[in-house]
Amino acid sequence: MVSKSDQTAEQTRLALDFVQFAVESGVLRFGEFKTKAGRMSPYFFNAGLFDDGAKMGRLAEFYAKAILASGMEFDMVFGPAYKGIPLAATVAVELARQGRNVPFAYNRKEAKDHGEGGTLVGAPLKGRVLIIDDVMSAGTAARESIALIKAAGATPHAIAIALDRQEKATENGHDVDHSAVQYVRGELGMQVCTIAKLADLLQYLAASGGGDEMKAHHERVLAYRERYGVGDH
């Protein structure tokens, strides 16, 4: 039986490996970027830049390992349009490769009026559904998926994302004292599995030994977290 400390250490290794992979792939960048909330962030994570077969395969492997390590229960996976579609498909393939074969489905933004019709594609939504997406900014996309899953008669049970920014969400243009992940966990009662968190990014930068440049990135990301962060969770 794996001890709690060994499990935590393994999850930390997975998170740090993922951060390194995201940086090397150009998906996680440092500089000055404006977020949806209007904040100037010293880093930017764009999962759309996992843009070839090798990167998508490795990304799916990180998702699958994090999902299986979390111990969360689910009966199928769902990918919200648009970024969630390739994520759900590739993660379902990788889960099957790791011995956990489950159905998957996704939605269209526009309803189809011919053929099978409707907005849902893939396996019928039923049982406990795991939503797979890239990041969670305000929880808006999560609420849309939850409504769609409930309307189909299934249970929105959990969400898996690549990176938890661990920062205050905004509502009606104002900062609130919780993150989108905390909102989904606390208010919507759903489990959230993340491959890595902002805390892992800071640990990676602190341990990278990349000289003055990495030290400067660490200082800026740390200052950003002190201003907008919600603490470790």
CATH for 4-228?
3.40.50.2020
Q: Is residue 94 helix, strand or coil?
A: helix
What does the pLDDT read at residue 210?
67
d(CA 222, CA 227): 9
Active-site amino acid positions: 112, 114
Per-residue pLDDT of 86-136, as tens digits, reads: 999 999 999 999 999 999 999 987 765 544 546 899 999 999 999 999 988
The pLDDT value given to residue 222: 96
Task: State pTM to two decimals.
Answer: 0.91
Q: What are the φ/ψ torsions at residue 133 (nearest 5 degrees)?
A: -140, 175
Dihedral (CA of 182, 165, 62, 82) sign: positive
**Which pLDDT score is estimated for 108?**
85
**Of 27-31, 142-146, 162-166, 203-207, minimum mean pLDDT range:** 142-146
Residues 200/19, Cβ–Cβ less than 8 Å = yes
CB proximity list for 100: less than 8 A, separation 6 or greater: 64, 68
* Tokens linked to 88: 């759900």
Domain boundaries along the sequence of the chain: 4-228
Q: Are 130 and 76 in contact (CB under 8 A)?
A: yes
pLDDT in tens, 137-187: 666 678 889 999 999 999 999 999 999 999 998 887 788 889 989 989 998
